[in-house]
Structures are given as C-alpha cells and as structure tokens.
Amino acid sequence: MTIFVTGGAGFIGSNFILNWVENSQEKIINIDKLTYAGNLENLKSVEDNPNYLFVEGDIADNALIESLYKLHQPRALINFAAESHVDRSIHTPQDFIYTNILGTFNLLETSLRFWKALKDSEQKNFRFLHVSTDEVYGSLGKDDHPFLETNSYQPNSPYSASKASSDHLVRAYFHTYGLPVLTTNCSNNYGPFQFPEKLIPLCISNALTGELLPIYGDGMQIRDWLYVNDHCNAINRVLEIGSIGEVYNIGGCNEKTNIDVVKTICLILDELKPKLDRKSYEEQIKFIKDRPGHDRRYAIDARKIQNKLKWNPSETFESGIRNTIQWYLNNQTWVGHVLDGQYRQWIKKQYT
C-alpha cells in the first residue's frame, strides 16, 4: 500500500512524513516543487528509508501527476502543497492563484481519472484529503463564537481567498463526481522545521541574533495555536475514519494574542539562553505598521473532530512552545542553512 503527500518538504508536510515513517510500514511518496519553503534537510533522517520516496515536481504538472498515479497506484493523496504566507500573498498573489487553485484543480482532475479506473473495492478505499486553513472563514470579533465547519467563507487576503477557492473545488468534485474527499481546516501551526518568516520562528531567530522582534500594529491580534505534531495526528485520524465529503476543523484550543506569544518566547529564552548582560529579550520587541487586511481574530471550534473522531490535542501552548524553542536552540545549523541571502532580502523588505 502507498500514499501520496504533496508539499512534503514544507513545514507541516515534512512533520507528517516523519511521523508517518516512524509509525507505519506503508510506503509514502513525497511530491514537492522545492520552492523557497521546501527543504529536504527536514527529511534527512528518512531519505534512505525504503518506505520513503521523494519526487521533485509541480502539482500543476498534469503529465507528472498522471504518471505517478499509474506507476504507484496509491490508496490516498494528502494535499499539503500550498503557498501559505499571507505577507507574500499581498506582494505576489499570482503565485498563490497558480499553486493553490490551479495546482489543486490538477490534483483533483488526475485523482478523479485514477479513481474512476479503479475496481469497486479500491474505489471505496481511496481518499483525497485536502489540508486547508481557518483563514478561509475570515475574521472574528473578540466575543464571537469560534469557527464551525458550517461558517460561511469570508476570506480577506489573496492567500485565504486562494485556499477558499481550492476548498470549494474539492467540495464540488465530491458532490459532482463522487470523488471521496476529506477537507481539514486548521488553526495556526507551530513547531520544528517551520520556515522563519512566520511569527514564532521569526522571533526565535531574531531574538538569538540580536535583531528586532517585529509586531504588526498593536499586537492584539488573536490566533488559536496548534502544535504541528498534534495536527499531523489529527490528519491521520481523519484519513483513517473520517466520513467522505466532510470537513473537520482542527484547533489547538490555545487562543493567544500575538504580543503574548512573543513575550512568552522571550521569557523562555531568558531562561534557556540568557543574554550575557542578563537583559530580557523583550527589549528587542518593536511595533511596526500593520499589514493590509490583517484579520483580528481566528479561533477554532474543534468539537466535531473531538466528538466524532475522538481526537484531542496532546500539547498545551506552554508545553508546545517550550518544545519548539528548545528544538530551534538545538538545531542552529538547520536555521543557518535556511537563512540565506534571499530570505534576508525578504525580511528587510517586509519589516523595515
């Protein structure tokens, strides 16, 4: 038996693969274009494992995906592949339209043709699992109920709009063609191997190098934080026993303001890696102009996956953020390799 993972060299995808190889004997094939956020160094520990195979390629490449389906005959495809950074979507929205919409469309088309050619028993077992985001639901007020799977879509950035479009396509291929799909919408992930343009790894990296810790606006934007390994376990659960055609919201049950997240990082670094002058890393915090269309609050109501699939996050924010900081402290060589000239140019452009 074999499964396909697209975008498996990225942050969440690589953590999923590491988790899968550790806990399953089933072959897993990683299809990744290796954009700036794709890093095979994440998967160094499994690159020689006979149950793991990497294929460099674009999910929008019809011929490639078609050939891989014919060669490997997988029982499932899990689609992690996406352009995912809101800030970048504001500057280069066309990249997000191409990968998140056209790429997902191509995966659906090739998957549908493959699925239709299967025997009845194999058709019943096949799954197309699409990994999406809570940002498709828009922004919540401070006292609004967290997002339910039934919430209307109100995306506010090119990134979330492109993900919303891909979600709608996945839904349509189930209702129109019967393709056995599953969709998950997750809250903000954090943990090992996250590219340091996102808030948590950016602040850890900047703190350790003595640079400013940039906070958009007043820092009171609220996010629900989900430790990446909990997310991977939830996806496994959905793949295993989720009902086809259904959507499952996956959240960490950890709502925090951005400024509280950054202050927590500083406090833990003060303990684990104190400065020589004993000053707090909090002194490096700097508030900067807010980004356009910045949603105020995201929050997930995860009762559906908790009640129907018996999944719950195992990490609190306090345990997860400590694990994450310790991982970055222990893996400074990895950090150094991803902080190349192109990354530094992007950070300078975005935050100055």
Residue identified by tokens 């988790």 is 19
Query: pLDDT by residue (tens digit) across 28-48?
Result: 999 999 988 889 999 999 999
Catalytic residue among 137, 159, 190, 216: 159
What tens digit of pLDDT does each residue of 299-335 get?
999 999 999 999 999 999 999 999 999 999 999 999 9
Query: Is residue 281 annotated as a catalytic residue, yes or no?
Result: no
Catalytic, 159? Answer yes
Residue among 32, 83, 135, 167 flagged as catalytic: 135
Closest C-alpha among 341, 323, 183 to residue 265: 323
Q: What is the pTM of this model?
A: 0.94
Per-residue pLDDT, 345: 62
Q: Give the lowest-confidence range in 107-116, 197-206, 217-226, 337-346.
A: 337-346
Separation CA 129–CA 80 (nearest Å): 9
Distance CA 185, CA 142 (A): 20
226 neighbors 198 (Cβ within 8 angstroms):
no
Q: Where are the domains of the chain?
A: 2-191+226-253+297-316
Q: Residues for the chain: how many in total?
A: 352
Query: What is the CATH T-level fold of the domain 2-191+226-253+297-316, as seen in this structure?
Result: Rossmann fold (3.40.50)
Confidence of residue 214 (pLDDT cuts 50, 70, 90): very high
How are strands ordered across the β-sheet holding 222-227? Answer: 188-190, 222-227, 255-257
Catalytic, out of 32, 87, 134, 149? 134
Instruction: Decide if 135 is catalytic.
Output: yes
For the segment 65-103, what is each residue's pLDDT rounded down to a tens digit? 999 999 999 999 999 999 988 888 998 999 999 999 999
